[in-house]
Amino acid sequence: AQKVTQAQTEISVVEKEDVTLDCVYETRDTTYYLFWYKQPPSGELVFLIRRNSFDEQNEISGRYSWNFQKSTSSFNFTITASQVVDSAVYFCALSEGSGGSNYKLTFGKGTLLTVNP
Amino acid sequence: GAGVSQSPSNKVTEKGKDVELRCDPISGHTALYWYRQSLGQGLEFLIYFQGNSAPDKSGLPSDRFSAERTGGSVSTLTIQRTQQEDSAVYLCASSRRAQGEWGTEAFFGQGTRLTVV
């Protein structure tokens, strides 16, 4: 069975600090996708990134970066120079590529990030 | 519309009453999903539609829950004889995912917050 663990329930930082959100996943599949979503107070889940299991290159998008390491089954998310607007709940998610349920997202419990001015 | 639209945004109902939650997906998205977000359980998959058919209803917690989709567009999630444990945020998502395709990102609505009193 697939599982996503976000060990950090809550993180609080001061503006301009860097912060890393951890995500560890479990799957028996060799092909899978990993996702990060942001959930601001308004409630909708905002898609941030998708990585497939064949591509271990790290990705940077502005102040956001993602570190995918298959050896440790981790897909960590770093926000550089955090801002108050980054305050939200962040979810890591997994979908398996093979089999009949590759449309289904398995989410971690989420990490509440609070960025204080 | 530009995004996934859900209505109502908030619903308070008395225990034992039936409720209907509505989802308008992004135009042209063939896949539609319902998830439930509650404090104790996190984000849970409920049901997946491809067009008007639901190949996977495995996440529906009981036979009090049902969903339909018409015209390959609007979906309604119905909960009969509501119980207090049904209180949660119900999130709808849609994607361009074709049958058998995997890894397409899902776009989420803002959810319906259901409170059963």
pLDDT higher than 60, residue A98: yes
Those of residues 38-57 in A touching chain B at CB distance below 8 A are 42-47, 50, 52
Q: What span, in angstroms and rounded, lies between the C-alpha atoms of B59 and B49?
A: 12
Q: What is the pLDDT of residues B37-69, one digit of tens each?
A: 998 778 999 999 999 998 889 999 999 999 999
**Among positive and negative, which fits the CA dihedral B98, A74, B109, B54?**
positive
* Of residues A33, A37, A109, nearest to B103 (C-beta): A33
Q: What is the pLDDT of residues B65-108, one digit of tens each?
A: 999 999 889 999 999 999 999 999 999 999 887 665 666 788 99
Are A45 and B93 inside 8 Å of each other by CB?
yes
Interface of B with A in 16-35 (CB under 8 A): 31, 33, 35
Q: Are B22 and B74 in contact (CB under 8 A)?
A: yes
- Give the pair of three-digit tokens for residue A103: 């449309």
Burial string for A33-68 (b: 16+ CB within 10 Å, else e) reads: bbbbbbbeeebbbebbbbbebeeeeeeeeeebbbbb
Radius of gyration of chain A (CA): 14
Q: Does B8 touch chain A (CB under 8 A)?
A: no
